[in-house]
Amino acid sequence: MKRLLVVLAVAVLAAGVLAAGLWATGWPAPGEAARAAAAARPAQLQKLDIAIGRWVFHGKTVAAAGAAPGRKAAAWTWRADCRWSTDRRYLLCAFHNVWAGKPVESLVVDTWNSRDRSYWHYEMFSAGAGGAHPFSSRMTIRGNTWIEQSASERHGRKVRTRIVYVYSSSRRVRVKIQSSRDGRPWKTLDAGVGVKIAG
């Protein structure tokens, strides 16, 4: 037992010496890098602050026709836990959704890209959808409205899909999922309301 304590003490001392050496050569101490990155982050990221917290969304399909294949009219629930990455450059939201009784688990990352000067939305799935092709879309934020939009082809026809969030306050948001085929007017497929329950 005494020998084990000596070994542990030596290991802790060595780790401390190594860390001190790294910091002395210019490596940032724990927390310093995150604080520096946060201080230098683009001002556009401040618009994402409103999403921080825990949310519960309730909604329903209002028009199954035109939705993705296999979609049926049904009620749905989303539970989202949103927080900043340590450098406050990426909004991370863990979603636990139930669509017509089917669980869908995903991680969403929203950010601002300074090179193309655009907001971007990324989503990867662990359940309820395949993991080979994470979803990504350009996102626009104008006032209290966020819009994520993507395009695909179905049976030779171009289909655009968008999710529209309209914040009425920092604790309440209306959401619509809409679709447009071949440039036709947007049609609402799903509609619901999200309420912040914590944060």
Q: Average pLDDT for residues 33-51, to the nearest whole number?
A: 82
Q: Which domain holds residue 24?
A: 2-30
Q: Do 45 and 176 meet the contact criterion of CB atoms below 8 Å apart?
A: no
Do 62 and 147 belong to one domain?
Answer: yes
Instruction: Give the end-to-end CA distance of the chain in Å, rounded to a whole number.
Output: 47
Query: Could you tell me the pTM of the whole model?
Result: 0.76
Do 87 and 150 belong to one domain?
Answer: yes
So what's the pLDDT on residue 147? Answer: 97
Please indicate, yes or no, if residue 38 is contained in any of the structural domains.
no
Give the tens place of pLDDT for each residue, 51-90: 999 999 999 998 755 555 555 678 999 999 999 999 999 9
Do 10 and 104 belong to one domain?
Answer: no
**Residue 81: both structure tokens together:** 């836990």
- Say how many domains are in the chain: 2
Residue 161 has pLDDT above 70, yes or no: yes
Do 6 and 74 belong to one domain?
Answer: no
Do 109 and 180 belong to one domain?
Answer: yes
Q: Give dist(CA 139, CA 146) in Å, integer.
A: 7
How long, in residues, is the chain?
Answer: 199
Do 87 and 144 belong to one domain?
Answer: yes
Angle, alpha carbons 67-75-194 (nearest 5°): 100
Do 107 and 156 belong to one domain?
Answer: yes
Do 64 and 120 belong to one domain?
Answer: yes
Give the tens place of pLDDT for each residue, 4-39: 433 334 343 344 433 444 334 444 555 676 566 666
Do 17 and 71 belong to one domain?
Answer: no
So what's the pLDDT on residue 65? Answer: 54
Report which of residues 95 and 1 the model is more confident about: 95
